[in-house]
Structure 1
Amino acid sequence: MESVSSVRRNPGRAKRGGVSLRWRLAVAFRVLAAAVGGYLVAALFSVCLAQWLPFTRAESVVLAMTVSFLAWLLVALWCFACRSVVLAWFGVLLPAGVFASLYGIGRWLS
């Protein structure tokens, strides 16, 4: 005979796999934030860094593009280390806004 706990199911759980839709969507949005947001931050970081480095243009671009992979890695780690998806997106969009502003200031000053 089945016990009462095995008959009752958690209403938040899916029927197959035992994982809720809410959890799956949270993971999907974290992957999206890590991939798309990481690319956004890495691209803005490399453009901003290449603009502000005191080397020749070619050296600045190569160094900035190389270092941008580190920025992408940090964004991806941040997205999966946060407690909520909203905080993950906030941690992606805030540096993107800062790097876009720094790039705009650099273009305005030159």
Structure 2
Amino acid sequence: MNYENGCEYCMAAHSVIADRMSKVPKEVTDAIRNNTEIPDEKLKALSLFSKIMIEKRGYPSELDIENFLNVGYTKSHILGVVTGAAVKTMSNYTNHIFDIPVDKAFESRAWTKN
């Protein structure tokens, strides 16, 4: 969602946090940052559904929902994506409006949308 909303601060911060604290492979984080193919099918489906929710402003098609559920996600996961979209949109817009500079701790993963 940070990519779609073009949030430079959040992309840098979340990339560093993912690298240090999550079990998400760096290749996945880099694919999200570069808008390229995600090597893990289930994570690719999550990323795609998240993009769809942002792009369609909360109106996914029945096929979008079916495709998401067919890779092993549940309706509860859909609610998680909705919640994430709401929180990330507020955070991203706040960073845009106030032009928050990237903290030194996150500079190693600085990012700009192409």
Bucket of the pairwise TM-score, normalised by the shorter protein: 0.3 to 0.5
Q: TM-score, normalised by structure 1?
A: 0.34
Larger radius of gyration: 1
Structure that is richer in helix per residue: 1
**Which has the bigger relative contact order, CA under 8 A and spacing at least 6?**
2
For normalisation by structure 2, the TM-score amounts to: 0.33
